[in-house]
Amino acid sequence: MTAGTVDERVADTGRLRRMLIRPELGAVVGAIVVFAFFASQSATFRSVDGVANWLDPASTLGIMAVAVALLMIGGEFNLSAGVLTGTTGLILVTLATRFGWNVWAAMLAGLAVALLVGFLNGLIVVRTRLPSFIVTLGTFLMLQGINLGVTKALTGTVQVSGLRRADGFESARAVLADSVTIGGTGFRVAILWWIAVTVLATWVLMRTRAGNWIFAVGGDDRAARAVGVPAERTKILLFMTTAGAAWLVGSILALRFTSVQANAGLGQEFIYIIAAVIGGCLLTGGYGSAVGAAIGAVIFGMADKGIVFAGWDADWFKFFLGAMLLLATLANRLVRRYAEEVRH
């Protein structure tokens, strides 16, 4: 090294620049563009009723996307999260209808199973050092098999139903699956849960030790361990967090529809990851935000319902989603590159 290293230190980037290089910028811009687009196509879309309508799919997806985003910032994936929403829903309905459990007790049982699955996912990942992609792909397929096998063995069909008649249904529904009327429009309670989860996750990420550890184990696992971050515990808890979120969403949907298909949640796992990535999470970990993932879910909800409101063929939804993913990630990358250039 030559003497007299150039004195390049933290560049004071200025408030505006610092705001611009937030991870969720791409998602915010994307959400505005998508909203403006559909709002111009359909008057219903921009009405209060319309907003309540597209916030509904955004909410259940958003709860999962936020949890998955935390896990991705911690450097891991969870492909079993989607199917797990089905598993917890099936447990709830089966215990309540076939075995006469109180709905609340059945939900607790679902939570216990979900947390156990999350714990095992995490334990296998940190102990074997196998990529979480593979480990959770394994649990994903196993859960899918259990969901179908057990449901068929118990009912002879591929769904369980009749939750409405179970004890405690009304109170559970009121808490998780009802609507609240605000200014004459009914909003799903799930939206409140989604907001609560996003606020909590943001708080954890930005204001707690655990948040620091999540960024650290995802950003540089070796460095984190070297300074004494409990990396294994952090990762296991992150897997359990996604499992807990899957239980919440599974219960909400089961209470809403009072029946669950054996293949519920299947195919959702990638949607969660997509929302998190649109929200600024890097696949490599160590970077991202919970708010971004929540906004990613909003984009998804707007596209899901917006296509219907605009009177188009809903078959085009996936195309739209794919284009959105590519554009938002490109925007995020530009932002990151810009942020890195600021340093020089």
**DSSP-assigned letter for residue 164:** G
CB within 8 Å of 306: residues ≥ 6 apart:
34, 37, 38, 41, 42, 45, 54
Binding region for other proteins (CB under 8 A) out of 4-12, 85-93, 148-156, 326-334? 4-12
* Residue pair 259/274 in contact by the 8 Å Cβ criterion: no
Residue type, 271: I
Q: In whole angstroms, how close is the CB of 45 to other proteins at the nearest point?
A: 37
Nearest of 317, 265, 211, 216 to residue 78 by alpha carbon? 265
Q: Which two tokens mark 8?
A: 């390049």
How big is the chain, counted in residues?
344
Under rule CB under 8 A, residue 4 binds other proteins = yes
Name the residue nearer to other proteins (CB basis): 2 or 181: 2
Interface with other proteins (CB under 8 A), residue from 3, 153, 156, 315: 3
Which residues between 193 and 222 bind other proteins (CB under 8 A)?
207-213, 215-216, 219-220, 222
Under rule CB under 8 A, residue 138 binds other proteins = no
Name the residue nearer to other proteins (CB basis): 46 or 225: 225
Name the residue nearer to other proteins (CB basis): 229 or 324: 229
Name the residue nearer to other proteins (CB basis): 16 or 227: 227
Dihedral of CA 39/60/237/232: which sign? Answer: negative
Name the residue nearer to other proteins (CB basis): 167 or 220: 220
Name the residue nearer to other proteins (CB basis): 46 or 336: 336
Q: In whole angstroms, how close is the CB of 204 to other proteins at the nearest point?
A: 9
Name the residue nearer to other proteins (CB basis): 138 or 219: 219
Which residues between 253 and 312 bind other proteins (CB under 8 A)?
286-287
CA distances from 231 to 7, 74, 78, 93, 125 (A): 34, 9, 17, 36, 12
Under rule CB under 8 A, residue 313 binds other proteins = no
Q: In whole angstroms, how close is the CB of 232 to other proteins at the nearest point?
A: 11
Q: In whole angstroms, how close is the CB of 12 to other proteins at the nearest point?
A: 7
Binding region for other proteins (CB under 8 A) out of 7-15, 101-109, 245-253, 258-266? 7-15
What is the H or E stretch that residue 159 is in?
A: strand 159-161
Nearest of 119, 85, 111 to residue 238 by alpha carbon? 119
Under rule CB under 8 A, residue 343 binds other proteins = yes
Q: In whole angstroms, how close is the CB of 222 to other proteins at the nearest point?
A: 7
Q: In whole angstroms, how close is the CB of 215 to other proteins at the nearest point?
A: 5
Q: Residues binding other proteins: what is the number (CB under 8 A)?
A: 37
Taking the C-alpha atoms of residue 93 and residue 82, their distance in angstroms, rounded to an integer, is 17
Under rule CB under 8 A, residue 1 binds other proteins = yes
Taking CB under 8 A as the rule, which mask of x and - marks residues 219-238 in contact with other proteins? Answer: xx-xxxxxxxx---------
Q: Quick count: other Cβ atoms within 10 Å of Cβ 336?
A: 17
Binding region for other proteins (CB under 8 A) out of 107-115, 117-125, 257-265, 335-343? 335-343
Q: In whole angstroms, how close is the CB of 217 to other proteins at the nearest point?
A: 9
CA distances from 230 to 76, 94, 116, 217, 283 (A): 16, 38, 20, 9, 22
Taking the C-alpha atoms of residue 220 and residue 126, their distance in angstroms, rounded to an integer, is 15
CA distances from 74 to 118, 177, 212, 253, 323 (A): 15, 31, 10, 28, 26
Which residues of the chain form contacts with other proteins (CB under 8 A)? 1-12, 207-213, 215-216, 219-220, 222-229, 286-287, 339-340, 342-343
